[in-house]
Structure 1
Amino acid sequence: MSTAALITLVRSGGNQVRRRVLLSSRLLQEDRRVSPPCLSSTSESRFSRFDPDGSGRPATWDSFGIWDNRIDEPILLPPSIKYGKPIPKISLENVGSSSHIGKRKENEDRFGFAQLTEEILYFAVYDGHGGPAAADFCHTHMEKCIVDFLPKEKNLETVLTLAFLEIDKAFASHAHLSADATLLTSGTTATVALLRDGIELVVASVGDSRAILCRKGKPMKLTIDHTPERKDEKERIKKCGGFVAWNSVGQPHVNGRLAMTRSIGDLDLKASGVIAEPETKRIKLQHADDSFLVLTTDGINFMVNSQEICNFINQCHDPNEAAHAVTEQAIQYGTEDNSTAVVVPFGAWGKYKNSEINFSFSRSFASSGRWA
């Protein structure tokens, strides 16, 4: 090989080497910009969808970017793994509640919420009539009664049914042993919700207090009022020897006395078909769509319809403000009865906030009645 050819070959090889070095340098720089720094094997195990930054702190809904929330709740990790989806831990500190006496001489409404077990939360409203005795009795004893049945029965619908019947039986014994004869005509509605693992919601109800789930900004009624207007309820009353009479404003009453066909207490009407067995409903929460559960007594239900309740609450910053907004709105709409609301926030709290709500004081009374 000539000297000139050898020089040309060396120059050509050098250029290729320089190009390879330059290309490798550029790829390394790009890789540094895109790829995270290497971690040791002990650090890699800390990263997961529930701990995205490896800090060891609980993941929140904001970490998943699911909801426009203003309540920072950690993820309930074991149930999340069990159900295969992120589930927020519902804190009782964030539950809102409000109760107004209205124009009555006494507030016979009662409400409560508590953690019964590590997995189960309890929420309830009771609307007493004929005095507060029956509502007080439920408020005092219902929680313990449910807890007593939980180890014996896994089905929460069955647990609530048994608890309602047991409380009614216990109140009857209490009333018959009491020297106060007015206890025999005291009764109460009862709407109780149990939440297991932050995702399984079960509601039981007697009377005309309500439970509403707000899903995608729309109300989902979880209870049906027990009134003599219902054909099935009226037939039971008549079959048991009772009758339905209408008062001066056209409202049906059992034996001319009671506006509901199921209740706890009202012992003088048990023989006429008024029962304490609740109707129950089970639902699996969808935290990306479900904003809240609200329990209300008929001081609210008779004046504000379900969609209006959802709208009022969706406008509020937190559940406590929301509960007060609902009860105060019912008062402005003209309710004279006791009014009580309990608001439980879920995963989509704040997500379906309406941009504008028209608060009309001249809206139709009929559209906002107990049938709404």
Structure 2
Amino acid sequence: MSTAALINLARTRGHQARRVLLTSRILQDEKRVTVVCQSSTSERRTSRFDLDGSGRPATWDSFGIWDNRIDEPILLPPSIKYGKPIPKVSLSHVHCASHIGKRKENEDRFDYAQLTDNVLYFAVYDGHGGVAVAEFCNKHMRKYIQEFLAEEQDMELVLTKAFLEIDKAYQRHAHLSANAFLLNAGTTATVALLRDGIELVVASVGDSRALLCRKGKAMKLTVDHTPERKDEKERIKKCGGFIAWNSLGQPHVNGRLAMTRSIGDLDLKKYGVIAEPETKRVQLQHASDSFLVLTTDGINFMVNSQEICDFVNQCHDPAEAAHVVTEQAMQYGTEDNSTVVVVPFGAWGKYKNSEINFSFTRSFASSGRWA
């Protein structure tokens, strides 16, 4: 055999040997991957962390904080209890903003706190006729909720009892005071309780609002209590009250109050203005739910619910989001006090829309009380 032929044979066998070696390594890698995947599947079945029934093990990208600037650990006991991974909602990542607008005094109040080991509290209050009732609620609502949580598991019932009890407490306080103006003061109240990072209950009287951003869309959790609502108007009339419209075409109870439910407003209680809240219960889906937002009407009447979602979704963190929402309301022309509370959830940063721009120009037809 010639020298050239020997060299060619050696090269050919060398290539074949390298291909065999490479194939062997690939097969070994596939076996290792298979073992790892089987192990993950077994672990998933044990922990029941199959979010969508796809059989794929849960990862941070499938359920968790998409924006890694908000990095929360998993709450293991609730995750096991509910059969899905639940990130911790930390109060350190909750942010608020409040602007006085063009009013002489800021009658809005906001609050958030950890009430028990597994229950968080968020609230906004929009006072009218003075700040007395909003301040009273901001100071005492936590206490009443905690008292009822100690004896009642149903958080809707807890909030209903707390609203009614704090209204009675304010009534006692006002009658003991020498200040007659306290009888005509009142406040809206929108309060949210979050248990185990997944059970969300909202209660509200008046026209402050709560909304949940789910898959980038606004999900309203409250309905305004105004005289436009047929059920509310009928209650007012049955109690001997009446509805009168002001020069701007806005209906008011007995010509004075723009809402049909509130805490305080003691002079209108006999005319059907009640403190009993309407409640809403939601189970969070951290793979889809980006945040909870509580707002007062200085924002609600100028920025509609979907606009709030879009603005917040563009923001770096809840602190920036709270600032942006109040600033947009001011740019759109609000003169009222404007307050917002932003609470981030598992899908924070997941539903950003590059087409949204902060702008002075917009459609006012889609904003306001009815948005």
Q: So what's the TM-score if we normalise by structure 2?
A: 0.86
1:35 aligns with 2:60: no
CA-CA distance at 1:29 after TM superposition: 8.7
5+ long unaligned stretches in structure 2: 1-19, 48-57
Q: Partner residue of 2:285?
A: 286
Q: In structure 1, the residue corresponding to 2:219 is in which secondary structure?
A: strand
Partner of 1:62: 60
Q: Which residue of 2 aligns with 1:198?
A: 197
Alignment correspondent of 1:109 = 108
Q: Aligned residue for 1:71?
A: 70
- Whole-angstrom distance in 2 between the partners of 1:315 and 1:64: 20
The count of aligned residue pairs is: 338
TM-superposed CA distance for 1:366, in Å, is 3.0
Amino acid at match of 1:141: H
1:320 Cα deviation after fit = 1.0
Q: Is the 8 A contact 1:109 1:127 kept in 2?
A: yes
Counterparts of 1:4-15 in structure 2 under 5 Å? none
- Give the drift of 1:151: 1.8
- The equivalent of 1:299 in structure 2 is 298
TM-fit CA distance, 1:75: 0.3
SS at match of 1:213: strand
Could you say what secondary structure the match of 2:312 adopts? helix
Could you state the TM-score of these two structures normalised by the residue count of structure 1? 0.85
- Give yes or no for contact 1:212–1:220 (8 Å, CA) kept in 2: yes
Q: Helix, strand or coil: the match of 2:130? A: coil
Partners of 1:353 and 1:344 in 2: how far apart? 17
Q: Deviations over 1:86-123 (max 9, x none)?
A: 00100000001100000000000000000111111000
Note the 1:207-286 alignment, pairs <5 A.
207-286=206-285
1:144 aligns with 2:143: yes
Deviation at 1:358, TM superposition (A): 3.7
Kept after mapping to 2: 8 A contact 1:61/1:74: no
User: Greater CA radius of gyration, 1 or 2?
Assistant: 1
In the alignment, the residues of structure 1 paired with residue 331 and residue 265 of structure 2 have an alpha-carbon distance, to the nearest angstrom, of 31
Q: CA deviation at 1:64?
A: 5.2
Say which SS state the counterpart of residue 282 (structure 1) adopts: strand
CA distance in 2, matches of 1:360, 1:240: 46
Structure 2 counterpart of 1:157: 156
Alignment gaps of 5+ in structure 1: 1-22, 39-43, 51-59
Q: Residue 65 of structure 2 contacts residue 345 of structure 2 at CA under 8 Å; is this kept in 1?
A: no
Other structure's SS at 2:106 match: coil
Distance 1:255 1:275 in 2: 14
The whole-number CA distance in structure 2 between the counterparts of 1:302 and 1:32 is 60
- Which residue number corresponds to residue 128 of structure 1? 127
Amino acid at match of 1:92: L
Cα deviations by residue, 1:169-221 (Å, 9 ceiling, x for unpaired) = 00000000011111101100000000011111000000000000001110000
Q: Secondary structure at the match of 1:281?
A: strand
Identity of aligned residues (%): 76
Residues 1:363 and 1:33: Cα distance change in structure 2 (over 3 Å): closer
Is the 8 Å Cα contact of residues 311 and 358 (structure 2) preserved in structure 1?
Answer: no
- For the 8 Å contact 2:206–2:261, the answer to whether it is kept is yes
Whether the 8 Å CA contact 2:63–2:346 is kept in 1: the answer is no
Relative distance call for 1:166 and 1:197 in structure 2 (3 A) is same
Name the CA shift for 1:28/1:98 in 2 (closer, same or farther; >3 Å): closer
Alignment of 1:291-370 (within 5 A): 291-370=290-369
Aligned partners of 2:103 and 2:337 also within 8 Å: yes
* C-alpha distance 155-32 of structure 1, shift in aligned 2 (>3 A): same
Structure 1 residue 152, shift from structure 2 partner: 1.3
Looking at structure 2, the residues matched to 61 and 107 of structure 1 have their Cα atoms a distance apart, in angstroms, of 44
Which amino acid in 1 is paired with 2:60? D
